[in-house]
Copies of this chain bind each other. A is one copy, B any other.
């Protein structure tokens, strides 16, 4: 995520380290609840209880359930960034970046509720007046941008098949992954998200990110 996300203006002002810590605790509890019960199934009252704050205390930090969800997603992006993308840069080594992307997909197969949350939100937030609209729209943009940069870097080193046309590749690859994740949610043993994505990449690449 870019540092200055569309969420920033809606965040309550935080002036104390204690407020920051409390905010982090709420986000952690909310992630657990959203993951266990889904976004709609989770309750603000239960989330407040889980981290020992009153409902008013919770609303001070997050005036709406949507704003709390936004913070959870931001935090997940940050964690994923640290876990998988800290040591890689699509502009520096495209194949290495794609390896990290495939590792995220493998990792996500153990994160059913997280995958479900992103799938639900991507559709739910498709109206411009939804609080997560800008987040979701931005997410598609920077993911596609990074994938396209990775492909161009690989191409510059002769690691892309000469016949491949990379125009729009990033958007299409995200679409394939999102669509596979939806089918995987319905049929977890029948769909190999990382395997199918890897296969798609190998129709275009000469170097195998998994080797």
A180 at the interface (CB under 8 A from B): yes
Asked whether B185 lies within 8 Å of A126 as measured between CB atoms, the reply is yes
- Given A120-B123, A168-B196, A175-B176, 15 more pairs with CB closer than 8 A: A119-B123, A122-B182, A122-B186, A123-B185, A137-B187, A140-B187, A175-B175, A175-B177, A175-B179, A175-B180, A175-B183, A175-B196, A176-B179, A178-B178, A203-B203
A69 CB, min distance to chain B CBs, angstroms: 15
A99 at the interface (CB under 8 A from B): no
**A residues 114-160 touching B (CB-CB < 8 Å):** 116, 119-120, 122-126, 133, 136-137, 140
Q: Which chain B positions have C-beta within 8 A of A125? A: 186
Q: Most chain-B Cβ atoms within 10 A of its Cβ — which of A123, A177, A187?
A: A123
A44 at the interface (CB under 8 A from B): no
Copies in the complex: 2
Select A180's contact among B124, B136, B172, B183, beta carbons within 8 Å.
Answer: B172
Which residues of chain A have a CB within 8 Å of any CB of chain B? 116, 119-120, 122-126, 133, 136-137, 140, 168, 171-172, 174-180, 182-183, 185-187, 191, 196, 199-200, 203
CA distance A124 to B38 in the complex (A): 10
List 17 A-B residue pairs with CB atoms under 8 Å apart, sorted by A's residue number: A116-B126, A119-B123, A119-B126, A123-B123, A123-B182, A125-B186, A140-B183, A140-B186, A171-B180, A171-B183, A172-B196, A172-B200, A174-B183, A175-B178, A175-B196, A176-B179, A178-B182
